[in-house]
């Protein structure tokens, strides 16, 4: 849309149980957000809704002298270029800066990810984070937090790091102010489609679904991308507890080293596996 604006090499199984490694497969995870699930088409914005217009101001270029015109064009294209993409974003990455929001002017229009922008949803635009990144955004004055997913690019105004949807900005209480100082934290990444790649950390494979869910809940306190995948094998049904995906093996190995320290009483022996 054009607008102004993260080992041991042994798997941990239940005693006496084995699972064929050939059954390993990637399962999508779901990030739970405390919001009502929407269905159907995107509702139109009410006409009385405010429209925050301070993301980028357009000028009447005909009124500018040639030197000023050249400078204005240079600044606009420099801002739209954004910062270079980083390859070292990991779960836990933090950034502090100014956030703004955008609303009905872009409601129903395509975002950079190809999704249709829903101003009432919980989404955000960032210049360089991978599309599909899940963030926790905290407004530093009120300490309110909201979880959003990056599905767009922006903001293209100096000094701002994030452009929030109207719904996310409302949850933070910054509609009237228009902008606010926030801290963003990466809490997960989009799961690659099957066959695309990525790395997962498997914490264990259990016949007891209750055990698997208990481990998943504990791991989820540190890695919100923890999930349970249930598979049928020639030795029975197993519930695999996994974390990820991670974009590199190094990130996955770091998580695999960290997880036994966070769950010391569970005796887990994480293993890094490919997500394809």
Task: Say if pTM beats, i.e. exceeds, 0.85.
Answer: no
52 domain residue, yes or no: no
For 38, other C-beta atoms within 10 Å of its C-beta total: 11
Number of residues that make up the chain: 276
> Does residue 120 form part of some domain?
yes
Residue 5 lies in a domain: no
Show which of 188, 215, 242 is a domain's final residue: 188
Give the integer Cα–Cα distance in Å for 19 and 157.
Answer: 53
Under 8 Å between Cβ of 7 and 256: yes
The tokens of 65 are what?
């002298």
Q: Which helix (H) or strand (E) holds 220?
A: helix 209-220
Residues 109-112: contacts with CB under 8 Å, at least 24 apart = 109/1, 110/1, 111/1, 111/151, 111/152, 112/1, 112/151, 112/152, 112/153
The pLDDT score that the predictor gives to residue 39 is 42
Cα gap 216→269, rounded to integer Å: 14
Residue 125 lies in a domain: yes
Give the pLDDT score at 90: 81
Asked whether residue 225 falls in the same domain as residue 110, the answer is no
The two structure tokens encoding residue 98: 């100014």
The confidence score (pLDDT) of residue 97 equals 97
The reply to whether 218 and 171 lie within a common domain is no
CA dist., res. 148 & res. 224, Å (int): 13
Spatial separation of the C-alpha atoms in residues 65 and 271, rounded to whole Å: 64
User: Which residues are within 8 A (CB) of 83 and not within 5 positions of it... i.e. 6 or more apart?
Assistant: 127, 128
Domain that residue 66 falls in: 61-75+87-188
Alpha helical stretches, state H, the chain: 66-81, 166-172, 209-220, 249-262
Q: What is the pLDDT along the chain (276 residues), one digit of tens a residue?
A: 445 443 333 333 343 344 444 344 333 333 333 333 444 456 666 555 554 544 443 334 444 455 555 555 444 444 444 344 444 578 889 999 999 999 898 999 999 888 899 999 999 999 988 888 999 999 999 999 999 999 999 898 889 999 999 999 999 999 999 999 999 999 887 754 444 457 888 898 899 999 999 999 988 888 878 899 888 877 889 999 998 888 788 888 888 888 888 788 788 888 888 765
Kindly state the tokens that stand for 48: 């009385």
CB of 136 closer than 8 Å to CB of 145: yes
Residues forming a β-bridge with 124: 150, 164
Residue 113 located in a structural domain: yes
Has residue 14 been placed in a domain? Answer: no
Closest C-alpha among 177, 191, 86 to residue 132: 191
The CATH number for 103's domain is 2.40.40.10
Q: Is the residue at 110 inside a domain? A: yes
Query: 149, 172, 188: which is the final residue of a domain?
Result: 188
On whether both 70 and 156 belong to a single domain, the answer is: yes
Kind and range of the H or E run holding 263: none
How many other C-beta atoms are found inside a 10 Å radius of the C-beta of residue 93?
16
What six digits make up the tokens of 249? 């093996």
The DSSP output letter for 61 is G
DSSP 22: G
Say if strands 160-165 and 94-102 run parallel, antiparallel, or are unpaired. Answer: parallel
């Amino acid at each position: 849309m054009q607008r102004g604006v993260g080992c041991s090499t042994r798997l941990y199984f239940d005693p006496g149980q084995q699972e064929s490694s050939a059954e390993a497969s990637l399962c999508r995870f779901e990030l739970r957000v405390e919001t009502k699930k929407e269905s159907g088409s995107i509702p139109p914005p009410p006409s009385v809704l405010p429209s925050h217009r301070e993301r980028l101001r357009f000028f009447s270029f005909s009124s500018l002298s040639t030197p000023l015109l050249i400078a204005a064009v240079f600044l606009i294209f420099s801002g739209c270029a954004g910062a270079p993409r980083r390859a070292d974003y990991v779960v836990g990455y933090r950034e502090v800066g100014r956030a703004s929001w955008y609303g009905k002017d872009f409601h129903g229009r395509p975002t950079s990810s190809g999704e249709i922008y829903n101003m009432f949803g919980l989404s955000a635009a960032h210049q360089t984070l991978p599309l599909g990144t899940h963030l926790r955004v905290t407004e530093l004055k009120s300490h309110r937090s909201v979880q959003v997913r990056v599905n767009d690019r922006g903001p293209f105004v100096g000094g701002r790091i994030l452009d929030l949807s109207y719904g996310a900005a409302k949850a933070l209480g910054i509609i009237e102010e228009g902008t606010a100082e926030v801290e963003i934290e990466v809490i997960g990444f989009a799961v690659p489609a099957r066959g695309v790649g990525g790395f997962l950390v498997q914490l264990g494979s259990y016949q007891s679904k209750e055990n698997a869910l208990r481990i998943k809940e504990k791991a989820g306190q540190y890695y919100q991308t923890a999930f349970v995948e249930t598979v049928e094998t020639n030795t029975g049904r197993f519930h695999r507890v996994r974390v990820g995906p991670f974009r590199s093996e190094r990130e996955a190995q770091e998580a695999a080293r960290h997880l036994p320290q966070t769950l010391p009483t569970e005796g887990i022996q994480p293993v890094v596996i490919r997500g394809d």
